[in-house]
Amino acid sequence: EVVMTQSPATLSVSPGERATLSCRASQSVGTNLAWYQQKPGQAPRLLIYDTSARATGVPARFSGSGSGTDFTLTISSLQSEDFAVYYCHQYTNWPPFTFGPGTKVDVK
């Protein structure tokens, strides 16, 4: 099973600032890595797939990068609606699909 880790667990950022979230896989997953955003009481929402492709309707301030075992989600200028929990997900080696434990982005 591919174990996903994310850092930091919590990221405190001021609106307008840049946020950089990290995700690491226990073995190479190539570029089969997705990011999801989840707000309280809501289902996860797909943001990024194939490491760097933005899902439909996702603003350009969200970008993804990386390959192999190390990945990054960058939010270039945080808006109020971006405060949420972000999960990474690998889909190279399954079953099982595995997710990281999440990074909570909150207001500094």
Partner 1 sequence: QFHLVQSGAEVKKPGASVKVSCKISGYTLTQLSIHWVRQAPGKGLEWMGGFDPEDDETIYAQKFRGRVTMTEDTSTDTAYMELSSLRSEDTAVYYCATIEGSSGWYYFDYWGQGTLVTISS
Whole-number Å distance between alpha carbons of 76 and 81: 13
Q: What DSSP assignment string belongs to 40-91?
A: TTS--EEEEETTTEEPTT--TTEEEEEETTEEEEEESS--GGG-SEEEEEE-
Closer residue to partner 1 (CB): 44 or 66:
44
Closer residue to partner 1 (CB): 22 or 92:
92
Which residues contact partner 1 (rule: CB under 8 A)?
A: 32, 34, 36, 43-46, 49-50, 55, 87, 89, 91-92, 94-102
Residue 75 has which token pair? 């939010």
The CB-of-93 to partner 1 minimum distance in angstroms stands at 10
Q: Report yes or no: 107 and 15 within 8 Å, Cβ to Cβ.
A: yes
The CB-of-39 to partner 1 minimum distance in angstroms stands at 12
Closer residue to partner 1 (CB): 18 or 94:
94
Closer residue to partner 1 (CB): 26 or 91:
91
The CB-of-23 to partner 1 minimum distance in angstroms stands at 12
How many CB atoms within 10 Å of residue 102? 18
